[in-house]
Amino acid sequence: MVAMSTTGNANAEIQHRLTVQTVEIAPNTTAIRCLDWDRDRFDIEFGLQNGTTYNSYLIRGEQTVLVDTSHQKFRQLYLDTLKGLVNPKTIDYIIVSHTEPDHSGLVEDVLQLAPRATVLASKIALQFLEGLVHDPFSKRIVKSGDRIDIGKGHEIEFVSAPNLHWPDTIFSYDRKTQTIFTCDAFGMHFCDDRTFDEDLEAIEADFRFYYDCLMGPNARSLLNAMKRMGELGKINIIANGHGPLLYHHLDVLTECYQSWSQRQAKAETTVGLFYTSDYGYSDRLGQAIAEGIQKTGLGVEIIDLSTTDIQEIQELAGRAAGLIIGMPPTTSVAAQAGISSLLSVIKDKQVVGLFECFGGDDEPVDTIRRKFIDLGVKEAFPAIRIREVPGASTYQMCTEAGTDLGQLLTRERNIKQIKALDVNMEKALGRISNGLYIVTTKKGDVSSAMLASWVAQASLQPLGFTIAVAKDRAIDSLMQIGDRFVLNVLEEGNYQELKKHFLKRLLPGADRFTGVRTQTAKNGSPILTDALAYMECEVQSSMECSDHWLLYCTVQEGRVSKSDGFTAVRHRKVGNYY
């Protein structure tokens, strides 16, 4: 194992900011894992708390294969490590699983060191690479069923896996070691010295969160890819692109992917998300909107307008209840044709949401918006206009927009479900009373709040309580394990204004605290000045409960502003809504 640091000997914490680990994971197969210990956000503000890794692999038969590279931030560390393992001039093949920069960011650098290497990738990936690599290079298109024999028993078979989570993705399976290289699929943003998934409890929350954010919107594509994986034979190791490799708990974790994806694919209502991959910030913005939609229990299917057949675009548009469309570049003939095909099949019962991509050549959003409005199609949320490089607040706005669309489409279904409950049972459940609280939190530039009543003390040592948070709440992404927040206790007889304010429905991205008096807690979250009491808290664990997450939280600080005040109590008559 090799571990190298970028920062000398200042102190232990800084030394481990960026490191590289090399581990022999199977015969003639070395993992080159670039460990980014301190990265607390990834792509579309996934609430990441545990850093991440960028995994690359070297297979040495009679010929040498490099599977993926790494992020540009590791450039010198990665190249030095690669040179220490092999003479780059002897590399025969570079497999590019997909062209997202965190995996292909050093392909051009490696090609300069390995001029005779042939790049193996999907057709779409090679088209993208030609725009990224400035010198001519040897290349070959691979697809499902194609194989290369590199000697010493290493025969590598390829599996087309589009939309996981880019349209150009492929998997690679080494028959000798029964190792499949899956890039983003089956990964997680979790940085740890342990190469494999030894501690299931430590990684399962990150594994699920990663799936929900990246893979869930592509559940149908994932099921298709897993079906092809099943035809390969026994799989001993899943060598992913981020986090620990799957080995110890491979069966459990792949079964999770299977069941989550089946549930997502069977969703009664589907939203189609249409975008142009590798253009501006379309991927990240689209994924943020998709995350918000999924919170409401709807299925999401993502299609690249520039690479997908018109028939496939129209098929999804025809059965989707809502359409999300990222503005394509004006120069993309294929994407423009895709937009025209959407306009030709959309119905007035569907809803639409539009977003700019900040790619420098966006089709004007108002022009496309007017075309849909003229067809009688309702907007699910105001068009998202991007005026600067997207940051945390922009991605949060996109997530909220997706949630708004999902709630709009599920409203009628939810009413039917409520009416279907047994009247006596719902009245009995409604007799459970609760206090009234407002949860407030801030992380970086993103802040949020929600009215809460399902709160109960759960432990004495340490002092802790549970709180139920609906999955479709915007605050959900800021209430992950390790996140900190303030629980504000409302006062009986003095809570109506605060309750009214925080129940107000706002446009995506609006400041929830406008007009409210606040102070800043030690953990950075807002304290409501007019609250009876407040507690500074941290999320310790979570449990999935159907349409809610049940969070166990501990209390670090607390104060009561009025010692003779009483907590506001919420008395309900029925238990099938708040």
Structure tokens at 578: 């708040």
- Could you tell me whether strands 118-121 and 138-141 are parallel, antiparallel, or unpaired per DSSP bridges? parallel
> What would the mean pLDDT of 217-222 be, rounded to a whole number?
90
The reported pLDDT for the residue numbered 502 is 96
Least confident span in 63-67, 236-240, 471-475 = 471-475
User: Hey, how many other C-beta atoms are within 10 angstroms of the C-beta on 376?
Assistant: 11
User: Hey, how many other C-beta atoms are within 10 angstroms of the C-beta on 224?
Assistant: 19
pLDDT at 109 over 60: yes
Residue 156 forms beta bridges with which residues?
148, 174
The reported pLDDT for the residue numbered 48 is 55
The reported pLDDT for the residue numbered 204 is 93
Structure tokens at 78: 């990665």
Residue 469 forms beta bridges with which residues?
549
User: Hey, how many other C-beta atoms are within 10 angstroms of the C-beta on 307?
Assistant: 19
Least confident span in 465-474, 490-499, 567-576 = 567-576
Please write the tens of the pLDDT for every residue from 2-45.
444 343 333 334 445 899 999 999 999 999 999 999 875 554 44
Structure tokens at 549: 């997450």
Written as one string, the DSSP assignment of 191-249 is --S-SB---HHHHHHHHHHHIIIIIGGGHHHHHHHHHHHHTT----EEEESSSSBBSTT
Q: What CA–CA distance (Å, rounded) separates 102 from 165?
A: 13
pLDDT at 167 over 50: yes
Quick check: 458 and 510 in contact, CB under 8 A? no
Exposure class string for 511-547: b at 16+ Cβ within 10 A, else e: ebbeebebeebebebbbbeebbbbbbbebeebeeeee
The reported pLDDT for the residue numbered 571 is 85
pLDDT band, residue 223 (cuts 50/70/90): very high
pLDDT at 573 over 60: yes
pLDDT band, residue 77 (cuts 50/70/90): very high
Q: How confident is the prediction for the chain on average, in pLDDT?
A: 92
Exposure class string for 254-276: b at 16+ Cβ within 10 A, else e: bebbeebbeebbebebbbbbbbb
One-letter amino acid of 5: S
3-state secondary structure of 529: coil
Quick check: 395 and 45 in contact, CB under 8 A? yes
Please write the tens of the pLDDT for every residue from 510-519.
999 999 999 9
> What would the mean pLDDT of 256-274 be, rounded to a whole number?
92
Please write the tens of the pLDDT for every residue from 520-565.
999 999 999 999 999 999 999 999 998 999 999 999 999 999 999 9
> What would the mean pLDDT of 69-78 be, rounded to a whole number?
96
The reported pLDDT for the residue numbered 417 is 64
The reported pLDDT for the residue numbered 267 is 83
Please write the tens of the pLDDT for every residue from 335-390.
999 999 999 999 999 999 999 999 999 999 999 999 999 999 999 999 999 999 99
> What would the mean pLDDT of 273-285 be, rounded to a whole number?
93
Structure tokens at 169: 């993705």
Report the percentage of the chain scoring pLDDT > 70.
94
> What would the mean pLDDT of 467-491 be, rounded to a whole number?
94
pLDDT at 432 over 50: yes
> Is the dihedral angle over the CA atoms 122, 127, 132, 135 positive or is it negative?
positive
pLDDT at 416 over 80: no
- Could you tell me whether strands 52-60 and 64-67 are parallel, antiparallel, or unpaired per DSSP bridges? antiparallel
Least confident span in 34-43, 100-109, 163-172, 317-326 = 34-43
Please write the tens of the pLDDT for every residue from 136-162.
999 999 999 999 999 999 999 999 999
Q: What CA–CA distance (Å, rounded) separates 470 from 509?
A: 19
The reported pLDDT for the residue numbered 419 is 62
Exposure class string for 9-47: b at 16+ Cβ within 10 A, else e: eeeeeebbbbbbbbbebbebbbbbbbbbbebbbbbbbbb
CA 508 to mean position of chain CA atoms? 19
pLDDT band, residue 415 (cuts 50/70/90): low
> What would the mean pLDDT of 267-293 be, rounded to a whole number?
92
Q: In what order do the strands lie in the sheet with 351-355?
A: 299-304, 270-275, 322-326, 351-355, 378-379
The reported pLDDT for the residue numbered 11 is 38
pLDDT at 464 over 80: yes
